[in-house]
Structure 1
Amino acid sequence: MINYAVNPRLTMVGAGPGDEELITLKGVRALEAADVVLYDALANPTLLRYCQPEALKIFVGKRAGLHQVQQRSINQLIVRYAYSHGHVVRLKGGDPFVFGRGQEEKEYAIKHGLEVTMVPGISSALAVPATNNIPLTSRGVSESFWVVTGTTRSGTLSSDMALAAQSSATVVILMGMRQLSSIIKLFSQHRGGDESIAIIQNGTCSNEQIGIGNLQSIQQTVREQKLQSPAIIVIGAVVAKHWESVQQKVAGLALV
């Protein structure tokens, strides 16, 4: 039943890559004004402290194998709570429009009469390499970058992955750990086994782990460090910049 006493609306907020300080000021203000917050597993739950005490806070993180069913339920929850409570904030990890299914939720909300506002977030594809001193572009090293999903509906590698592997660009792969062996095989065919690669788990968070090597060695590193999802994969010559920054830091400390 529609509650005509409320103004049903949705604000889609990108929570950033994990570090609570990397949410935008506009995102914080949306949380402060929320009547209901639906938040994902990759959104830092400490951000909920910005909400009013009376605001409803509902976890809607997905489980493997049930994504499609749960997505329909989330769409329905957005509309239901908007009409019963008013202002719904959908808090999503990273940026809602970067492999976050934000467009699907936006279209469903608009179709059901909700006013929708978008608040972009800092994507892990950009932030996680940066905080580990890996530039996605660097003059004379990389002129462009790709951001590709490692998970498609069919369970196979995206056709864009093959195109990315054939390029000289930096390639950032999200949700790719389950396909790591296939990704390594593909990139090795086009770039050779010496191509640099970094795998960063829980990027920007206190429990972050990073494994760096080349395409030949990285699987051994993954096993030794027990790296797993959520993680991003960065492939390209720019990965070497991480070690350069580490060496510079060590050299600087030696001079103190």
Structure 2
Amino acid sequence: MTEFSPLDAEIRDLLRFAAERSMMPRFRMLAEDEIEMKGEGDPVTVVDREIEEFLSEALTKLAPDVAVVGEEAVAADPTVLDKLSEACWIIDPLDGTANFTKGKEPFGIIVALADAGIAVAGWLYDPIKDRLCHARKGDGAYVNGERITAQTTGQTPPVAGISTLFLNAEQRAEMDEKITPHYTLVDIPRCAAEQYPRLALGENDISVFKRTLAWDHAAGVLWLNEAGGRAARIDGSEYRVDEHDRTGMIGASHPDLWEAFAKRLEGRLD
């Protein structure tokens, strides 16, 4: 039997409505003037802005005393990042924008609730599958209201979804030397709303993230850890949403796989 808490049901309905109103009607239908570039390889669309505006207003009505940190709001005013140390909602209105602009899957919407720099609840919504991955700190991880436990792929060698997109030449060489021979490497989805579920639902065992922005990772880190996998900084420290200048994180379907990968990355294994 599936059950949603009142808050989970409220967030699910908001995300589903936003996707049905703004996202799905424009999938593979975006006009050129509905896409802009914030930077190299970093597009933003009318969908991103429309959904963030809607969710910011809706979440503020839901909890008037809680700040809102949205990806596009930060792009317009970086001082919004200062709110990450407060009680705040964190919004990625269209995770996987690059995929969406090319008419490709996956993409989704991510919302997290954080307090004092730590995520306490998170929701990752896939509108194509109508799948909601959700978690509250200390209360387990769920998919569409059903509690789940993280599963490994069971494969030898383990399956690693690793991108070199944001690595420099030295980091790529280190990855090729220490990691590539010991894992089955697969493409990443370029969408955190999909990558974290892959780590808990038996599709991938390992992922490495260089950029660790709060709107991409706050909800997924919490959900994976609550499922019994592990997501943490490369040095083993806890992920905090307010450490927005810090890079590097490992996600794994099981703590033992996390530890083995971290040791290999540091060169402590033969």
TM-score (norm: length of structure 2): 0.30
Which structure has more strand as a fraction of its residues? 2
Structure number with greater Rg is 1
Which structure has more relative contact order (CA 8 Å, sep 6+)? It is 1
| TM-score (norm: length of structure 1) | 0.31
